[in-house]
Structure 1
């Protein structure tokens, strides 16, 4: 299952042409991913932080395809593509409300950080057990963001 939620594009996130700022796409998608973890998988960032786990963005790879406009309702979907010893690769996509037009596709690589040492560290075993079941193994055969984009556009 690929979690999805709907959001309304806010005035303060747009430019004078009523387009969502480029950085706003990333903000909306990261916030949606946090919501998806909580609402669909019962995983809260607060709980993860309390257990000493945190993540830093190592890399964003994004393709902008269509403008998201002020007051528009959009749909954001997300998936954990790959869980490794110390990283997560997450896909987030932004669609129009009807989910017929892809507006942006984002792949983000997160690095696990031990909050006690503030250093990169392997994921603890309990986290691997928590995250493994939500890994979208069907996407692991996809080699690049562009390959994935081609899959989504032709569907």
Structure 2
């Protein structure tokens, strides 16, 4: 079975995550992106990061986030979130996630997240297992952009931000 390189889910923007203008609060975007990725890791790749932490003492910790807010997400709006693995090495991952309106005509936000594989028991960086490296090789889907700013320009030039 071929694994999905881009995974997608829908969710509704909730009241408690919005500002007084009924826009998704800037800080809440990251929560929506992370919740999406956690759910999709379980659904598509059988990776439960919390079970891994509990049973093996390893998981991933966030090391960096770069986010561009392009269009507001509104209270009770259904949004589509997509994600893909851009890069991996022996202990790091870089993931891109995108939030669109429900019919994917408006790109609302893009984030690049860096993650470090971490041993919770030793409190130090952990090397990915061979099985994980094989999975990452099967699903990695790089983009043709040197950095985040270039990637955002690509979306703008493609008129993804309408």
Same fold (TM over 0.5): yes
Are residue 25 (structure 1) and residue 29 (structure 2) matched?
Answer: yes
**Two-structure CA RMSD over aligned residues (Å):** 1.5
**1:29 Cα offset (Å):** 0.4
- 1:45 corresponds to which of 44, 49, 52: 49
Q: Which moved more, 1:99-108 or 1:118-127?
A: 118-127
Are 1:81 and 2:86 an aligned pair? yes
Does the aligned pair in 1 maintain the 2:50–2:59 contact within 8 Å? no
**Structure 1 residues 3 and 24, CA gap change in structure 2 (3 angstroms):** same
Distance 2:101 2:122 in 1: 42
Which string of whole-angstrom CA distances, capped at 9 and with x for unpartnered residues, describes residues 112-137 of structure 1?
Answer: 11122111122222321232211114
Moved more, 113-122 or 87-96: 113-122
Q: Provide the C-alpha distance between the structure 2 equivalents of 1:148 and 1:48, rounded to a whole number of angstroms.
A: 32
Q: CA deviation at 1:12?
A: 0.4
Which ranges in structure 2 are unaligned for 5 or more consecutive residues? none
Aligned-residue offset at 1:38: 1.2
Match of 1:146 in 2: 149
Moved over 3 A (4+): none
Distance in 2 between residues matched to 1:43 and 1:87, nearest whole Å: 16
The partner residue of 2:60 within 39, 42, 55 is: 55
In structure 1, stretches of 5+ residues that fail to align are none
Structure 2 partner of 1:2: 6
